[in-house]
Amino acid sequence: MFAKNEKKREGYVVTIDGPAGSGKSTTARLVARKLGWLYLDTGAMYRAVTVNVLRNQIPLDDPESIGRIAEQSTIELCPSKKGAQVLLNGDDVTDEIRHPQIDRTIGPVCEVPKVRDVMVRLQREIGRKGPVVAEGRDVGTVVFPDADVKFYMVASIEKRAQRRQNDLKRQGIDMDVDQLKEDIARRDKRDIQRKNSPLMKADDAILVDTTHLSIPEQVAFVIDHIAKKINL
């Protein structure tokens, strides 16, 4: 199915943006696996920087120091059965970056322009290794504005909180769904109002409401549109 256009395929970029719990990470990971492409989890990279900020006890109201930490952070995304193993300065932080504490502190870190500059540069370097399925909050608008196919995923806040609760349970963490809804709403507001690279749908992105879609349905929808757009 993917033999033709092999040479051109090397540069293909597909982006999937959306808020937390919209289904973008699981979908992007499985789509990349089915196509045999690279999977780029940009959110994991910002989470890794946040881990480094906390480890170094940097105040969240000190953007200069946060930016310096970002520059000093060596972040690697290694393919794994779960999608990507995240290494921070050689340490495996794959599970640590998903802790609720990171959810609550990542906002101020992402707002630092230097952090975003460093991360975008690294993400584009990874993208050049193509073909890639990249997911995050600004991959279709800022990181890869000329991507071949773009998607923007949404879901009801109830569904998103439920998904997040299930993810945390798998890590042995029990959190109230109402608290998660509050956390998600707070993060949404911060992401949308952020001056630098706010969360928004690219004009040419395909909108996908995953509230009532199963994971296989989401994956099939995305792959179908990729195949139509780039004639795979």
Q: So what's the pLDDT on residue 160?
A: 96
Whole domain around residue 84: which residue ranges? 12-223
Does any domain span residue 110?
yes
Q: Quick check: is 171 in a domain?
A: yes
In this prediction, residue 232 carries a pLDDT of 63
* Distance, CA of 96 to CA of 169 (rounded, Å): 14
The whole-number pLDDT of residue 229 equals 87
Does 132 fall in a domain?
yes
CATH number at residue 113: 3.40.50.300
For residue 2, the model assigns a pLDDT of: 40
Q: How far, CA to CA in Å, does 231 sit from each of 18, 78, 155?
A: 25, 29, 29
Is 231 inside a domain boundary? no
SS3 category, 198: coil
Q: How far, CA to CA in Å, does 230 sit from each of 31, 135, 159, 221?
A: 15, 19, 32, 15
Any domain includes 51: yes
Residue 2, in any domain of the structure: no
Its pTM stands at 0.86
Show pLDDT as tens, one digit a residue, over the chain (232 residues). 344 444 344 589 999 999 989 999 999 999 999 999 999 999 999 999 999 999 999 999 999 999 999 999 999 998 877 778 999 999 999 999 999 899 889 999 999 999 999 999 999 999 988 899 999 999 999 999 999 999 999 999 999 999 999 988 988 888 999 999 999 999 899 889 888 788 899 999 999 999 999 999 999 999 999 999 887 6
Residue 63 is assigned to a structural domain of this protein: yes
What's the total number of domains in the chain?
1
Element at 169 (helix H, strand E): helix 157-170
pLDDT confidence of residue 10: 56
Q: Given this model, what pLDDT does residue 197 score?
A: 81
pLDDT score for 79? 80
Q: What was the pLDDT predicted at 9? A: 46
Does residue 149 lie in a domain region? Answer: yes
